[in-house]
Chain A
Amino acid sequence: MDSKSLVLVALFTAIIVVLGLIPPIMVAVIPVPIHAQSLGVLLAGIVLGARHGALSVLLLIALVAIGLPVLSGGRGGLSVFLSPTAGYLLGYLPAAWMTGWAADRVHDLPIRGWKVLAGLLAAAILGVLITHVVGIAWLIAYVGLSPLEAIVGDLIFVPGDLVKAALAAYVGRIIHENFGRRLIAS
């Protein structure tokens, strides 16, 4: 891995952490405050691609494991992996990978303008989907909720995450327009 990729991976991990430090905001009808942290995860996938986006998340997970308070709310340490919502953190990893993979496919296609935006949105929504699937699976397996209970509980967070997906696609497209594929030498 060349040094530029290494620094970019670390940079996006830092971005994910800082987005978790931003105070959560209340949006319209959604009854829970939205943390910007998962936005960082989607951005990592879209901007860096599958491999390096996933490495950014892996680095984040390593920081949490080490005990540093890098998750939204200042959470950190191994106890995070044993909490009811650990699935969402672990789900970030395949989510970043898949979003990155899908974004790479979008960028390979000979399309421009709103089509790229739509493609990136699809990539981001894919990431959100994966995160929630893993989160729900964890709720069922580890916490012992029934599938129905888990899905219902999870649903509250979906609208907020869809907003973040749109944001990630939007920002990702602008960055791609400015930097193109020159960002990463995979």
Chain B
Amino acid sequence: MTAAPGTVLERLPATTKLAALFCISVLLFLTTSPSLLGAAAGAILVACLLLCREALVQWLKAWPLLLTIGIFALWKAFADGYHEALVLLLRLGTLSLVATVVTVTTSIRQFIDTITRLARPLEKLGIGNAHDIGLAIGLVMRLIPDVRQRYLAVVDAHRARGLPLRPSTLFVPMIIGMLKGADDMANAIDARGIRADTRTEKKVGHG
């Protein structure tokens, strides 16, 4: 979902873009004038067309989100009048577009590095290790297809035997099976020394 490498926006550090998103959010909430909001929306739209067309494409592709905003705006129109509805539409529409720009112009690696940096203070609180964040994200991506396959396998087994799909017979085997695999994966992470430099060894020996 990233645009071609090397554009102006992509070279900006992620934290700068996030800070800009935050500032724009605050500014848009400070005003309740549809004309001001409209002007801002227009300016941002033009900037997108010039600097990051991909963001516009992705923004439109996420039409469920736009639909949700539309539904709330409609509600507002009936409840509080067109003025309020327009403010809502312009604010949320613009903000979701700016957010899309940031998402599209920042690589996954950059995000992970930024999150890791921001999480350093949390280390002091003893919540975990910042280095583990990249690994955790990788683990989730690794496990999603496995969980999905297991879910499908359990559903298929039910269909094959003509059993009704009940939560106890679906979720329980699914989760219990995965818990065993998790044990192995943890052992493998230790055996391969993947977290060797991120924490001190603490191991109790028993079979």
| Direct A–B contact present (CB less than 8 angstroms) | yes
Interface size class, chain A: 35 or more
Interface positions of A from 142 to 186, Cβ below 8 Å from B = 143-146, 149, 153, 167, 170-171, 174-175, 178-179, 183
Docked complex Cα distance between A171 and B172 (Å) = 6
Residues of B in contact (CB 8 Å), total 66
Residue of A nearest to B146 (CB): A14
B128 and A55 within 8 A (CB) = yes
Residue of A nearest to B61 (CB): A74
A67-B1, A83-B68 given as contacts; is B182 within 8 A of A8 (CB)?
yes
Residues of A within 8 A of B144 (CB): 14, 17-18
A75 and B133 within 8 A (CB) = no
Docked complex Cα distance between A66 and B102 (Å) = 10
Stretch at the interface among B45-53, B72-80, B156-164: B72-80
Stretch at the interface among A57-65, A95-103, A110-118, A126-134: A57-65
- The interface residues of chain B, by DSSP majority, are classed as helix
Docked complex Cα distance between A16 and B137 (Å) = 14
Docked complex Cα distance between A79 and B101 (Å) = 9
A75-B64, A82-B25, A144-B84 given as contacts; is B182 within 8 A of A4 (CB)?
yes
The 8 A CB mask of B179-203 against A (1 = contact, 0 = none) is 1001101110110000100010010
Docked complex Cα distance between A153 and B76 (Å) = 12
Most interface-central of B97, B176, B185, B187 (chain A CB within 10 A): B185
Known A78-B103, A171-B175; further 14 A-B contacts with Cβ < 8 A? A2-B202, A6-B189, A7-B182, A59-B136, A75-B62, A75-B65, A78-B21, A81-B99, A83-B68, A144-B84, A144-B88, A153-B75, A171-B171, A178-B176
